């Protein structure tokens, strides 16, 4: 069974940094593109970033470009999202999802809450 | 990056059918068949129900069907059940090398 477990969420001040991690199991991780999607409280889904199966290609939403960095470690079956220069409007549940920009995102983790507040 | 356009809410009676629309542009929905739909119950993670425009994900009842015409994709729920009450989101690949979601539609079963 495909399982994704996000970690690293928490409270951070505006302008600060935070790193999220997603541990994958139950599928051939190194063959799958991976994606982060976020959902602000009471709001809709927003695509954040995707990374190709090899890690060679990365993609970002305009709202996070230059501030967030996605990476992956295929040997440890993890995908990371490093977030810097965080803003109040980055507050959201961040979901790790299998799939990428082209391939429809499919399996979702349970999410990790990031709160940016002073 | 503007979102795809969905109605904020749709309602229907138990057993009836409803259709949710999702409107984009030639740069996303209209130009590609990488269109998916997700169901999200309150407090839960989204769940894939449709991929590649009209293919049901594993385990999804055939009461759920989807299609696309031009720049508009549609999700139809037939024979509405109480458990269908949820938020529904469409998503598409966009030619700028990004992915975009719709604003979401709240489905109420009367």
Task: Give the per-residue pLDDT at B97.
Answer: 87
Do the chains contact at A104 and B48, CB–CB below 8 Å? Answer: yes
Percent of chain A with pLDDT over 70: 100
pLDDT reported for residue B2: 80
The pLDDT of residue A86 is 98
| A70-109 pLDDT, tens digit each | 999 999 999 999 999 999 999 999 999 999 888 899 999 9
Helix (H, G, I), strand (E, B) or coil at A90: helix
Mutate: best of A42, A48, A104, A111, partner B, most B CBs <10 A: A104
Q: What residues of chain B score a pLDDT lower than 70?
A: 1
Q: Binning pLDDT at 50, 70 and 90, where does residue A48 land?
A: very high
- Rounded to a whole number, what is the distance in Å from the CA of A109 to chain B's nearest CA? 7
Contact residues, chain B, for A40 at CB < 8 Å: none
Q: What is the pLDDT of residues A23-38, one digit of tens each?
A: 999 999 999 999 999 9
Could you give the dihedral angle defined by the CA atoms of residues B43, A11, A69 and A81, in that order, rounded to the nearest 10 degrees? -50
What DSSP designation does B62 have? T
The reported pLDDT for the residue numbered B1 is: 64
Burial class (CB in 10 A: 0-12, 13-18, 19+), B73: buried
| Residue A85 DSSP one-character state | S
A3 CB near a chain B CB, below 8 Å? Answer: no
> Tell me, what's the pLDDT at A98?
96
Q: State the average pLDDT for chain A.
A: 97
- Given a cut of 90, is residue A52 above it in pLDDT? yes
Nearest by CB to residue A101, choosing from B1, B93, B104, is B93
- A37, B101: Cβ pair inside 8 Å? yes
Question: In the predicted model, what is the mean pLDDT of residues A104-118?
Answer: 96
């Amino acid at each position: 069974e495909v399982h994704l477990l996000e970690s690293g969420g928490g409270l951070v001040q505006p302008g600060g940094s935070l790193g999220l991690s997603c541990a994958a199991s139950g599928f051939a991780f190194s063959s799958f593109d991976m994606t982060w999607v976020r959902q602000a409280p009471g709001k809709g889904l927003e695509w954040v970033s995707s990374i190709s199966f090899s890690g060679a290609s990365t993609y970002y939403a305009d709202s996070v470009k230059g501030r967030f960095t996605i990476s992956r470690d295929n040997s440890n079956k993890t995908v990371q999202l490093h977030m810097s220069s965080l803003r109040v409007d980055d507050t959201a549940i961040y979901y790790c999802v299998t799939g990428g920009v082209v391939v429809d995102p499919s399996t979702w983790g349970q999410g990790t809450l990031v709160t940016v507040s002073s | 990056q503007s979102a795809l356009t969905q109605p904020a809410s749709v309602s229907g009676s138990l057993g009836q059918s409803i259709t949710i629309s999702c409107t984009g542009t030639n740069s996303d929905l209209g130009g590609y068949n990488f269109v998916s739909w997700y169901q999200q119950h309150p407090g839960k993670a989204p769940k894939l129900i449709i991929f590649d425009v009209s293919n049901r994900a594993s385990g999804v009842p055939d009461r759920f069907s989807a299609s696309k015409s031009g720049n508009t994709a549609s999700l139809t729920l037939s024979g509405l059940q109480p458990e269908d009450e949820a938020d529904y989101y469409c998503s598409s690949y966009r030619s700028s090398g990004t992915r975009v979601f719709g604003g979401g539609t709240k489905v109420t079963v009367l």
